[in-house]
Amino acid sequence: MSEAERLGLFGAMDPALRREALERSRLIRARKGTAILSKGDNSSDVFFVLEGHLQVLLYSANGREVSLRDLTEGDMFGELAAIDGEGRSASIIALGDSRLLAMSRPDFRAAIEASPDASMWLLGQLTARIRAMTEQVFELSALNVQARLHCELLRMAARSPTGLEVRPAPTHAELANRIGTHREAVTREMRALAALSIISTGRRRIQFMDIARLQTSVGRLSLQAAPAEKTAEP
C-alpha cells in the first residue's frame, strides 16, 4: 500500500479518482514551529499528515493557549472550511518537522461528490470528532482534574500505534490546557500514577504500564461524579 493510500480519504477512492486527486495535490514540508493555519484565515485547502506531529490550538483574548488535540500521521485537518466556506476554526502548529499533502477545496469537494466511499469515510471522521467532543464536554463539566487527566491519558494510549507508549508526549502544561487545569495539578497526578506503576515517564515519553488499572480508575471516578438517583415521593 502506498503512502497516500494509507490516508483514509485517498484509500476510499477508486484508483482512477485517487490518481487524479494525487496529481493535483501539493506536497508541503513544514519545519518545527511553523504555523500551518491560523484561526480566522480565509484559506480553504484540506491537509493530510504524511509524517510529523502537529497541534490544534485556540488562543484566548489575553493570549492563553488552549490545546484541543494533536495530529499525527494519517490525520486530516482543514476540512471544515472546505465544507462550509467559513474561516478557519483553529490554528495548527507543527510541533516537529512534518510532511503534509494539501488538496484544494474544489478538488476535495469533487472527490467527495464523485465517491460514495470517500463521502462515508468523511462522515465517519466527522462523527468520531463529535463523539470525542461530547465526551470532553462531559468530562470538563462533571469530572474532577484527576479523572479528566486519566481520560486524556487513555485517549492518548488509544491513538498510539502500540497502545503502550506515547512519544513525543505532550508537556504537563499542554496536558493542563487540554483538561482545563494548571500544570502543577498535572505534575502532581502524573507523579502519583508513576508511584503506582500505572505509567512510566521520561523525556517527552509516557509509557503505559497498567492500562487496566487506569480504565478502572476512570470508571470509579466517573461513578463518583454521577448524581444520586432521586427516590420518588410516596
| 68-85 tens-digit pLDDT | 888 988 899 999 999 999
Q: How many CB atoms lie within 10 A of CB 148?
A: 24
Please give the radius of gyration of the chain, using alpha carbons only, rounded to the nearest integer. Answer: 20
Q: ω before 170 within 30° of 0 (cis)?
A: no
pTM: 0.80
- Report the pLDDT averaged over residues 86-109: 95
- Report the pLDDT averaged over residues 91-117: 94
Residue 123 has pLDDT above 80, yes or no: yes
Q: Would you tell me which CATH number, out of the four given (3.40.50.620, 3.40.50.300, 3.40.30.10, 2.60.120.10), belongs to the domain 8-131?
A: 2.60.120.10
C-alpha cell at 70: 494533536
Q: What pLDDT, on the 0 to 100 scale, is given for residue 33?
A: 93
Residues of each domain in the chain carrying CATH 1.10.10.10: 143-225
Residues of each domain in the chain carrying CATH 2.60.120.10: 8-131
Q: Which fold has domain 143-225?
A: Arc Repressor Mutant, subunit A (1.10.10)
The DSSP letter of residue 177 is: H
**Coil vs helix vs strand at 95:** coil
